[in-house]
Structures are given as C-alpha cells and as structure tokens.
Homo-oligomer: A and B are copies of this chain.
Amino acid sequence: MARNIAIKVARAEKDMTQTALAKAVGVSRQTMNAIEQGDYNPTIKLCRAICRVLGKTLDELFWIDEEPGSSDGNSERR
C-alpha cells in the first residue's frame, strides 16, 4: 500500500511513541505500526479513535495515502 506519514507526523507533534498511541487507542503496537507502514486497512472506528487522540480529522489522516487505479496525480476530489 502506501505509508501513512500523516500519522507519523501528528504523532511526533504530540511527542507520542507508537506504543503510547496504540495504548491510547486501545490496539496493539503492531497494529499501529502496520497502519503507519500502510500494511493495512483499519476499521473506521479505529481511524476515528486515532483522529481523536491525535486531534486531527479523518480527511487529514486517512484520505489520500493509497487506492491505486486513479493513477494520475490529481489531488482533486468531491
């Protein structure tokens, strides 16, 4: 997939470790790591939890970062 750098940045802003974020969000450290690594496809419930802890919106943390197919680098949506 594609690595989620937005989370890494937001985490850095809050000075949290992956382990800390994982705990705050109620999920295993490996799961958090895998998400940042882009190795999968979390549940929206988990995404919301991450957003709440990091103080970001879904669009900020989970929009772009993957879904091939569209192929052109257009950043338009809606």
Contacts and interface: CB of A to CB of B under 8 A. Distances in A.
A78 B43 CA distance: 20
Interface residues of A, number: 21
A78 B48 CA distance: 11
A58 B59 contact: yes
B41 A57 contact: no
B41 A45 contact: yes
Given A48-B63, A63-B48, A67-B48, A42 B43 contact: yes
B57 A63 contact: yes
Interface in A24-65: 41-45, 47-49, 51-52, 55-59, 62-63
A41 B52 CA distance: 17
